[in-house]
Amino acid sequence: MAKPDIQQVKQRFGIIGNSPDLNRAIDIALQVAPTDMSVLVTGESGVGKENFPQIIHQFSHRKHGTYIAVNCGSIPEGTIDSELFGHEKGSFTGATGERKGYFEVANGGTLFLDEVGELPLSTQARLLRVLETGEFIKVGSSKVEKTDVRVVAATNLDMISATRNGKFREDLYYRLNTVPIRIPALRDRKDDIPLLFRKFASDCAEKYNMPPVVLTDSAKQMLKDYYWPGNIRQLKNITEQISIIEQTRDITSEILKLYLPANEVGLIPVGSVNTNESKNFNNEREILYQVLFDMRKDMNELKKIVHNIVAGKITPSDIIASSAIAPNDKPLAPMVVNTSDRSTDYPIKEDIHPILPSSDIADADVIEAPEYEEETLSLQDVEKDMIIKALERHHGKRKNAAQDLKISERTLYRKIKEYNLENL
């Protein structure tokens, strides 16, 4: 059978774009489809990984068999084995009858394991046995059963790091990764972004019976320059927001800027991170941590300067001389406190006067500031704060908060329990 044309495949599965990396990924999927090799689809969240298992299934000899997509990250750890491999009656509390697992139901077809990196280690061992021998045992049974299933897995995790950290079995990784397919991030497909925007705008206009929105040249460039941490999913959401909310149909860069968030968790424009330095980070969360640490460092330096001024250890002229403050900036005089009628040994809030001109400093009493203590910020503190803000932003809806944080619901539940945030 001749290999289908890539453009025909794009039209059939609704894939938009002409990026060489995207075309390469589709080409690999078409070449591996007629075989029974395991495939691992990797890429960031929101890049459209779910399309490729369907392409592989539809152009394989299993296309008339069952196709099942399983989100491994959304299934609780205690029931994942039962979902995948089935269970016998009475094998655990609530098992009122026998149940077939996905590997049994999809026999002769294709099983898509999305977020495979979230599988527990015990389930990973069971999955490895199925891939190597085609055999599995139901929960609560001792009978070995056979299945003939083509497995296609997908993940947005760095699997190499996961195997090194002991979170994912190395032998299972190489067994799944027989044929790797890497889906490029939206920021790596800049020329495809206006095409996707136009498609989403057209679909939204047709759905709600309104004229489609159109981007100006400056707005198109702004779209291309944005970092797109949420990839295609985020672009679609923003396009639909603009289509519904804006009265004008011509979208300028000023209008578009209102819809490109820069202060939410994980949403960092390209310009805020040095391109060369960003290559040292594995994902957006690490970039966010670095930005927060840099901000805290700057704040600590500023506190040190203020402390030294109040304590009389340095003067504004010393700061100017050391280039701590730009020469054109007018330095502030130290904060002065009137101590003539204090009733305690500690500064009282009401005693603090406005900043005095430098000529009046000599006539005032200066209280020596307490020793400065630099604050520290751990990764756990940052992560906990991010989770709290995400839960508050989504009014306690954990599914939405997990999507906002770019982690699975299971990971979010574990973190909530770890940080005692169950009451949020």
What does the domain layout of the chain look like in residue ranges? Answer: 6-184, 187-257
Query: Quick one: pLDDT at residue 194?
Result: 96
Query: Quick one: pLDDT at residue 279?
Result: 42
Query: Tokens representing 149?
Result: 């299933």
CB proximity list for 402: less than 8 A, separation 6 or greater? 408, 409, 411, 412
Query: Quick one: pLDDT at residue 318?
Result: 64
Assigned fold of 6-184: Rossmann fold (3.40.50)
Query: Quick one: pLDDT at residue 112?
Result: 97
Query: Quick one: pLDDT at residue 42?
Result: 97
Query: Quick one: pLDDT at residue 46?
Result: 94
Per-block mean pLDDT, blocks of 10 residues, the chain (424 long): 83 94 96 96 95 96 96 91 92 85 96 96 95 94 94 95 94 95 96 96 95 96 94 96 94 93 51 42 56 70 75 66 47 43 42 43 44 56 84 85 84 84 77
Neighbours of 265 (CB within 10 A): 20
What CATH class has 187-257?
A: mainly alpha
Name the pTM for this structure: 0.62
Query: Quick one: pLDDT at residue 395?
Result: 84
Query: Quick one: pLDDT at residue 290?
Result: 64
CB proximity list for 137: less than 8 A, separation 6 or greater? 85, 126, 143, 144, 145
β partners of residue 146: 135
Query: Quick one: pLDDT at residue 356?
Result: 41
- Three-state SS string over the chain comes to CCCCCHHHHHHHHCCCCCCHHHHHHHHHHHHHCCCCCCEEEECCCCCCCCHHHHHHHHCCCCCCCCEEEEEHHHCCCCCHHHHHHCECCCCCCCCCCCECCHHHHCCCCEEEEECHHHCCHHHHHHHHHHHHHCEEECECCCCEEECCCEEEEEECCCHHHHHHCCCCCHHHHHHHCCEEEECCCHHHCHHHHHHHHHHHHHHHHHHHCCCCCEECHHHHHHHHHCCCCCHHHHHHHHHHHHHHHCCCCEECHHHHHCCCCCCCCCCCCHHHCCHHHHCCCCCHHHHHHHHHHHHHHHHHHHHHHHHHHHCCCCCHHHHHHCCCCCCCCCCCCCCCECCCCCCCCCCCHHHECCCCCHHHHHHCCCCCCCCCCCCCCCHHHHHHHHHHHHHHHCCCCHHHHHHHHCCCHHHHHHHHHHCCCCCC
